[in-house]
């Protein structure tokens, strides 16, 4: 096997985890913003409509890999309550900002993450590739938790136009890192987006099960799927020490 020269990482449930208040606080800020803009809402119905729209739009991305955005979910939820707004309406833009403003303070690094990245940075080129619809918010979170200095390349699906598992976004990652796909490990938690996606693009996946093993009550990944048979041989880790040991064995 080719020598490993680079390592890519997923973000949510791989390097960081949101706490239990992240989504409720984000939704509260979203609804407050819309109501302050003069839109009357039935809160529970709006929340249900938003969740249903999110699932529907994300499912549609599986057809061609193109990223969706929360502004479309908001418009769909508002439509149910008789408010017909366009995705580029200023009220929608302000609501999007309000929604994502909650995340930096409610996202936390998995213990030992910075030490692990610092160790790896001495030997490998490092990249970050995250499925996140709103690029500015993702970058705010990354800066807030102090991850920026560790990565040579940072790709956010909302900025790239495609989301994992589409191979094009993995190809952009390895191109940015200046390596070949089979010289690159990709570490992630989601069987479809991270493991199948990395395999399909020619990268060598490593499956992190930290969130699953810790039985954390919050999962940020709305698209997680059950493992496939061809994942049986994929290396799994649940601690950063296990990743360091695995790298020494490759």
The domain spanning residue 193 has which CATH number?
3.40.50.1000
Same-domain check for residues 144 and 221: yes
Instruction: Please indicate, yes or no, whether residues 80 and 14 belong to a single structural domain of this protein.
Output: no
Domain end call among 100, 124, 157: 100
Q: Are residues 78 and 124 in the same domain?
A: no
Same domain, 216 and 153: yes
| Same structural domain, 171 and 122 | yes
Measured distance CA(9)–CA(221) in Å, rounded: 15
Give domain status of residue 93, yes or no. Answer: yes
Domain boundary at 100, 133, 160, which? 100
In this prediction, residue 230 carries a pLDDT of 65
Residue 83 forms part of a structural domain: yes
Residue 211 maps to a domain: yes
Asked if residue 218 has pLDDT above 80, the reply is: no
Is the model's pLDDT at 246 over the cut of 50?
yes
- For residue 217, what pLDDT is reported? 60
Segment 226-236, tens digit of pLDDT: 555 567 789 99
Within this chain, do residues 56 and 163 fall inside the same structural domain, yes or no?
no
Does any domain span residue 221?
yes
In a domain, 162, yes or no: yes
Q: Which residues contact 151 (CB under 8 A, 6 or more apart)?
A: 126, 127, 128
Residues 65, 138, single domain; the answer is no
62 shares a domain with 142: no
Mean pLDDT of 187-194: 96
Asked whether residue 117 is domain-assigned, the answer is yes
Q: Do 112 and 227 share a domain, yes or no?
A: yes
Q: What is residue 224's predicted lDDT score, i.e. its pLDDT?
A: 47
- Do 130 and 210 belong together in one domain? yes
Rounded Cα distance between 208 and 192, Å, is 13
DSSP codes of every residue in the chain:
-PPP-EEEE--BTTTEEE-TTHHHHHHHHHHHHHHHTT----HHHHHHHHHHHHHHHHHHHHHH-B---HHHHHHHHHHHTT----TT-HHHHHHHHHHHTTTGGGEEEPTTHHHHHHHHHTTSEEEEEE--S-HHHHHHHHHHTT-GGG-SEEEEHHHHSB-TT-HHHHHHHHHHHTS-GGGEEEEES-IIIIIIHHHHTT-EEEEE-HHHHHT-S----TT--PPPGGGTTS-EESSHHHHHHHHHH-
- Say whether both 181 and 214 belong to one domain: yes
Total tally of structural domains belonging to the chain: 2
pLDDT on residue 242: 97
Q: Does 118 lie in the same domain as 201?
A: yes
Per the listing, tokens 């929360």 go with: 70
Residue after which a domain boundary falls, among 51, 76, 100: 100
What is the C-alpha separation between 11 and 28, in angstroms, rounded? 24
Residue 1 lies in a domain: no
Candidates 8, 10, 12, 47; CA nearest to 222 is 12
pLDDT tens-digit series, residues 4-48? 999 999 999 999 999 989 999 999 999 999 999 999 999 999 999
Residue 135, domain extent: 6-19+107-249
> What global pTM score does this model have?
0.93
Strands 236-237 and 153-156: unpaired
């Amino acid at each position: 096997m080719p020598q490993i020269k680079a390592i890519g990482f997923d973000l949510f449930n791989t390097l960081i985890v949101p706490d239990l208040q992240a989504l409720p606080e984000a939704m509260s800020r979203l609804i407050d913003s819309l109501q302050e803009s003069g839109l009357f809402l039935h809160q529970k119905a709006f929340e249900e409509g938003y969740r249903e729209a999110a699932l529907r739009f994300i499912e549609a991305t599986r057809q061609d890999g193109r990223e969706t955005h929360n502004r479309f979910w908001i418009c769909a939820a508002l439509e149910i309550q008789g408010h017909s707004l366009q995705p580029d309406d200023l009220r929608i833009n302000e609501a999007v900002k309000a929604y994502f403003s909650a995340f930096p303070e409610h996202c936390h690094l998995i213990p030992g993450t910075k030490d692990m990245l610092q160790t790896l940075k001495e030997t490998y080129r490092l990249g970050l590739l995250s499925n996140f619809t709103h690029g500015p918010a993702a970058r705010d979170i990354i800066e807030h938790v102090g991850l920026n200095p560790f990565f040579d390349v940072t790709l956010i699906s909302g900025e790239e136009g495609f989301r994992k598992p589409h191979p094009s976004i993995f190809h952009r990652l390895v191109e940015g890192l200046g390596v070949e796909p089979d010289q690159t490990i990709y570490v992630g938690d989601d069987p479809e987006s991270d493991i199948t996606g990395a395999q399909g693009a020619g990268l060598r996946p490593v499956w992190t099960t930290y969130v699953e093993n810790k039985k954390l009550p919050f999962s940020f990944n709305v698209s997680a799927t059950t493992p496939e048979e061809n994942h049986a041989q994929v290396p799994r880790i649940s601690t950063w020490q296990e990743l360091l040991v695995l790298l020494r064995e490759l």
